[in-house]
Structure formats: structure tokens, C-alpha cells
A and B are shown apart, each in its own frame.
Chain A
Amino acid sequence: MLDLLSYGATGWGDELLQGAGMTLLVAVLAYLIGLGAGCLTAAAKLSGPLPLRWLAATYTTVVRGVPALLVIWLLFYGGSGLVGWMAGLFGYGGRVELSAFAVGVASVGLVSGAYAAEVIRGAVQAVPKGQLEAARALGMHRLLILRRILAPQALRYALPGLGNVWQMTLKDTTLVSVVSLAELMRQAYVASGSTRQPFLFYLVAALVYLVITTLSETGFRALSRRADRGVRRATA
């Protein structure tokens, strides 16, 4: 049975490994998009003009309110047309295609961004207002306040939440398998259909996800510890 997992032409080991690579690639790209979108959305929610705030609220409410699977299907079917239409606004009339990869990264990133936005907003709001007022009173420039006062503290508050968003993003990549992107879940699906050994392949997939989530959780904890250095805690 183990030869099914071997590396090479007869086993599925190499396909699974490539799938795991694809999973990580999609997850990392989607997470980065999510962080970017999350920052912008949080900024809009906190200090944007009213229409922007409204737009940001709609984005986070809608995307967090519908299943990620639905977002993927929607983008898979409707995404190409939409991007083509947007490209048309900028004067590009050619054909625009979204590959399964692009659909996967965009949709998982979109979902990731909505959750990241809430985490970041909460973290920024957790920084005591008095500190910002004090910094302004000292004549600090807005950017300097952002860099020295707001960002370091907000990051510290946001890290655990952003860690959760990462875990969620990673797990959401499994859903991209429905549009046949050859990530880990899809490879396990194909292998189990072809070899009639679903238990084996899904178990292996589960273990790989387990390893990735556990390692990244350790990573986020280390980051959190680093961000927490110098903060005195009440001794319990």
C-alpha cells in the first residue's frame, strides 16, 4: 500500500508533494492579498469618508456572511467577465482570462481580507487614544505617529487574530480544489479516485495540513512573543 505514496511514475508521492507546494503558494499569496485588502478596509472603516466606510462595511459583511465555497464558484463563473469589464474601464479591450489559480488566489484572498480587516480594525482601536493625543501634542508628524506609536502596538494586538486568519486562509485553500486547481486536496481526490484508496490519501492530506498548521502556529507564537517583548504583564 505504501508504494502508492512513493515518488515517481507509479506512486502519488510526487503529485501530493507538488499539491502541498501549490497549497502553500495559494495560501501565502491569498494571505498577502488579504493583509493588503484588510489594511485598506480597516483604514476606510476607521477614517474614510462616509461612502468608503459604507463600502468597507458592505465588503466585510457580505464576504464574511457567505460561504467561501460560494465566493469561489461565483468568481470561477463570473470572474473573467468582471475583470474583463474592469479592464475595459481602463481602455483595455482584449480578452481577459482568470485561470483556476487566479480564481483561487483571488477568492481566498478576498475572504481572508474581510476577516483581516476586522482584526486590524480591532487592534488599531485597542491602542489607547490618549497616546495618540499625547504624540500629537508633542508635535509628532502623522506618519511618525503611525510608525512609532500606532503600528507597533496595533501589530502586537493584531498578531493572534492574524494568526487565526492565516489558519483559516490555509484551510480555505482546500475549497479551491472544486475548480480543479491541482493543490493538495485535489491531488488527494484524483489519487483516491484513481486508486480506490480514499482513506489513505485523505489521511495523508490531513496529516500534511496538520503539520503545516502546527508549524505555522508555532511561528505565529514566536512572532507574538517577539512583539510582546518589553511589555510587562500582570503576574497571575
Chain B
Amino acid sequence: MKSWIAALGLACVTLLGGCGKEEAAKQAAPAAADSVPNPLRVATEGAYPPYNMVDASGNLVGFEIDMMKDICRRMKVECQFVATAWDGMIPALQAGRFDVVVAGMSITEERLQAVDFSDGYTTTPAYLVSANSNPLQKEDYGVPKVDLSNMSPESQAALDKLRGLLKGKVMGVQTATIHANFAEKYLGDVVDLRRYDTQEQLALDMQSGRIEVGLADAVTWNAFLQRPEGKDYSFFGPGFDGGLFGRGQGVALVKGRTALKTALNSAIKEMKADGTMKTMSVQWFGFDTSMP
């Protein structure tokens, strides 16, 4: 009797300790029910101001929170927000832990292999930031913007110049972002790259001087630069977009959920058409970043 109970208990415990990928894949299949779930479980990070963040009352606020609430209202479903760690979001989405991810996530080829996206809602270039006193600020990089999908000789020259100037510098990015991917691919061999869990921690370490240069989305940088602590820091060099930076930010969902995708897209289209997206963008970002 005793060993029988022990057998059962152990079987459970040890199975929990083991793992299996086939199981995870099998699990994703029934999750692809083709309807708009109600409530809709929305994952966000809560540490990527002003897209999504947590205020002192512990509530999730930000552009994407407002936008998603509006999308849910238009789809006539209830939004249920879940704050979750950034770098586990796509696997957790695939595992069926939530229905959509709204976390300033850019639509990239790499991610499209794993999940599906709605149409883009905002687009902002990536920018480098350093302290005002840093000599990097005074350099002339020739072009205001580098489009990775369409590299002109001037853009290539700007990138080469940056690579030379950044040699040996400590650079911070948020882990598993398009910015991290860019830094790894284009600057990985020249800079000492540090990967942070959240953009807020990156900004914190920029202030402490542990990192000399940071790379992130222009809008999320603004949230830092406009704070009193951010007054000693500015953008430098060209903005980057195109290529591996993808096609703007979209709502991520599991592949094959056509009904949900259609509903999301029509809600986003409506919001763009009636100006809601623009109003929200101006309210949270200070300027219009919405995509046509």
C-alpha cells in the first residue's frame, strides 16, 4: 500500500521534472481554435514605457494598454492583461498561456517563423543614445537615417564609421529584441554587448555609467530622455529601420487563428481610419507614430 502511493506520487513528481518538446508542440495544436476568445488574454511586459508600464498603484498603463482596451471594445470582448517576462513571451504564446502579445513587438521575419502578427500599428526607428559629454555626440554621420532594406553607399559609410567609433565600447540593449539582433549582427564583433532584461534596467545602468551607449526604440528612449535623470543624455548618429528591424509593431498571435487575426486587423484599421490611433499616439508619445 505504502509503496503504491509512493509510486504514484513519484511518477507525478519525476514527470514534472522531466521535459518534452514533442508534448509542447502537441499542446499548441488544440490552442488554435478558430474564434475570438472571450475574455481575450493579453500578455504585455509592463516595463517598456511609454508602450506599456506599471504605475505606482501597480496598474498596467501605456499606449498599448489603451490601444488594446479599445481594440477589445471594438471586438466586443473583455481584455485580460497578464504581465509577463519579455524574453519568454513567444514560447509562452505558443504554449497557449495567452491569446495575444502586445508589447511593442516588431514584426520581423525571424518572429514570423514562429508566430503570426496583426497589421502593424506603430513604427519607430531605432536610435543610439549616449551621455551629452560623449565625443560620439559631436561626430557627423552624414545621413539622418539608415534603411537596412535599402542600403545606399552613404548609409554604408555611416554604419562603417559607427563601427569604428564604437570599437571596444560597452553597449546595452534589451535582451531578445530587434535591437539586440541588430547589435549582434552589425556591431557584435566590435562592441562589448550587455543584454538587459528590461529597458528600464538598461536606462538605470546607463545613468550609473556602466554602459556608454544604448540602442533602443526612439519612442522608448524619449520616455527616459524626458525625465529629469535623462537630461544629460541624447540621441546620436542615424536612426535605423528596415531589414531585420521589421515592419512596425504588431499584435502577435498563434499561427492559424484566422478569426482572431481578422478581428484584430479590422479593429486596428478602424482605429487608424477614425483617428483614434493618432490621438493615442500623440497622447503617449508626443507625436504621431501610427502606421498608415
Contact = CB atoms under 8 A, between A and B. Distances in A.
A and B touch in the complex (CB under 8 A): yes
Interface of A: 8-12, 14-15, 18, 36-37, 40-41, 43-44, 47-49, 52, 55-56, 58-59, 62-63, 71, 73-82, 84-86, 88, 93-100, 106, 110, 113, 178-180, 182, 187, 190, 192-194, 196, 198
A55 B10 contact: yes
A115 to B, nearest CB: 13
Interface in B59-88: 83-85, 88
B201 A82 contact: no
A147 B229 CA distance: 64
A52 B6 contact: yes
Interface stretch (B22-30, B110-118, B130-138): B22-30
Given A47-B2, A78-B19, A40 B229 contact: no
Pairs A-B, 8 closest by C-beta atoms:
A81-B24, A193-B200, A40-B9, A85-B23, A80-B95, A81-B27, A84-B27, A81-B23
27 contacts: A10-B56, A40-B5, A40-B9, A40-B10, A41-B6, A41-B13, A48-B10, A52-B6, A52-B10, A55-B14, A59-B14, A59-B17, A71-B17, A77-B88, A78-B20, A80-B24, A81-B28, A85-B23, A86-B12, A88-B26, A95-B96, A110-B16, A179-B84, A180-B83, A193-B198, A194-B55, A194-B200
Contact of B83 (A62, A79, A182, A196): A182
Contacts of A193: 47, 198, 200-201, 204
Interface residues of B, number: 50
A36 B10 CA distance: 10
A116 B52 CA distance: 41
Contacts of B26: 81, 84-85, 88
A77 B95 contact: yes
A106 B16 CA distance: 8
B21 interface: yes
A48 B6 contact: yes
